[in-house]
Structure 1
């Protein structure tokens, strides 16, 4: 019985789509090829909706269990931003390995709550964490401070950004030393 849904794009189809997008931007692929690559990207991007909702629910539940007031939001990376990232910002990036198509953000009030939330998240999801980068302890040169945790959910990688209002505004720098 046909359910009307097609299988998700394979890794090789995603790599090929990224390559075609770059070639098109250099004038080396046809519009039809580019449009096919965009359809592949759209099919892949749409797969992140349900896992993001599930993670959002889990993050809200964790905050509640920890008695932490948290703002939890989610977003799908815009199609134009995916193309720009693949073709301009990171032209060597393998599209099948892009880890921030689906993203969630958790904002808490204080650095202490951020650390508590991060610790609990890492304990609870230790088997699902693919990567973790701590830009609070080691800020970027730009001053950016947050913790990024890449989580595997339903076979996809989603990025969870953890930050406090202090790290967002820079107004609590004395607490970060």
Structure 2
């Protein structure tokens, strides 16, 4: 497992390597730290996936629940090109779960169940139905 200091510094090393300033050893360290750090999210995401499935069952909502870990190449790209001052330990989207439901009523039932079950452990909740975060494209079929 990488040290906290290694995780913090990997973004700087990635950017240095991109400028041609790093060594082969730096590249190996970056590879190892990102792989190890990313792997730490695997179990919590699996646990969260199963919890969301249980919550959907409890709410009697049909939901397609999926999970993902950000690819190593995408992590590197984000550190290099999109968030040029970001350190890996502050990257908030390394992993995630998604529940797709067929309608807004089912979505609200699922959200209510999760909030009810988790109570004060829900620290933050974004409502992208009420306030979309970007352009929304709808298709009528």
TM-score by length of 1: 0.72
Contact 2:13 2:30 in 1 (8 A): yes
Paired with 1:12 and 1:130, the residues of 2 have a C-alpha distance of 26
Partner of 1:120: 113
Contact 1:21 1:37 in 2 (8 A): yes
C-alpha deviation, 1:127, in angstroms: 3.8
TM-score by length of 2: 0.88
Paired with 2:24 and 2:36, the residues of 1 have a C-alpha distance of 18
Question: Aligned-residue CA RMSD in angstroms?
Answer: 1.8
Partner of 1:108: 101
Write out aligned runs for 1:38-57 (5 A): 38-57=31-50
The structure in which a higher percent of residues are helix is 2
Partner SS, residue 20 of structure 2: coil
Deviations 1:26-57 (A, max 9, x none): 22222320221110110011111211111111
Contact 1:24 1:31 in 2 (8 A): no
Partner of 1:88: 81
Write out aligned runs for 1:145-156 (5 A): none
* Structure 1 residues 126 and 84: alpha-carbon distance in aligned structure 2, compared to 1, 3 A threshold: farther
Contact 1:17 1:38 in 2 (8 A): no
Partner of 1:69: 62
* Structure 1 residues 126 and 21: alpha-carbon distance in aligned structure 2, compared to 1, 3 A threshold: farther
Paired with 1:132 and 1:31, the residues of 2 have a C-alpha distance of 42
Runs of 5+ consecutive residues of structure 2 not aligned to the other structure: none
Paired with 2:113 and 2:56, the residues of 1 have a C-alpha distance of 9
Partner SS, residue 126 of structure 2: strand
* Structure 1 residues 129 and 12: alpha-carbon distance in aligned structure 2, compared to 1, 3 A threshold: farther
Matched, 1:78 2:46: no
Paired with 2:26 and 2:63, the residues of 1 have a C-alpha distance of 44
The structure with higher relative contact order (CA 8 Å, sep 6+) is 2
Runs of 5+ consecutive residues of structure 1 not aligned to the other structure: 1-7, 144-168, 173-177
